[in-house]
Structure 1
Amino acid sequence: MGRTNPTYCDALRAIEERWAEFRRALRRRDQPRFDRLFEYAREHADASGLLNHRNPLLAALFSIDLEQEATLEDHEDRLEALEHRLNEQPDTEPASDEETSETHR
């Protein structure tokens, strides 16, 4: 007996095909970004397939949001670590112009 619903991966492929003209109309610099969004959606294909929602675009968009949230969290963690390292460094003030000229006399 055949499936009544296409698999999520099939549905996602169909969505990507429907958006192909939009992708072609994008500037070249944005096309890889567009492709990355579908990569994000494919990252969560297992969970999205289990959802079996009538509108697979919803699962794709939520998957994209999850990946972007993870990226944002990673950037926040890295920024916090950099700020922490900067705050740990001893404060060394550069010598003033007057002090520099006195040492070179």
Structure 2
Amino acid sequence: MGGKYVVGHMGEKYVVGHLGGKYVVGHMGGKYIVGHLGGNYVVGHMGGKYVVGHMGGKDVVGHMGGKYVLGYMQGKYVVGHLGEKHMVMCLSTVSFRRLEPLFSALIFL
């Protein structure tokens, strides 16, 4: 379209951001996405699952099927709520502790 920004309604899908493959904020088929379209950052609601962070296999913070995950997806750190167990995990040294405030902070998503 030759422009930079688009704000509007596209067949029930709201899109706000760059058309040059950078930022999109909006509602796409019931799924909220905020972040880069270049495969970097996504913050939003995807089918009932909250995701905040890199989509390229780096950091993810959010709610996936009732499970909170914060950390690296490539075998590094994971902090989250899996079932009824809170955990902070590193594959080299595993430790567990409570992180309730972190999870409650995710509610705003």
Fold agreement, TM-score > 0.5: no
TM-score by length of 2: 0.27
Q: Which has the higher helix share?
A: 1
TM-score by length of 1: 0.28
> Higher Cα Rg: structure 1 or 2?
1
Q: Which has the higher strand share?
A: 2
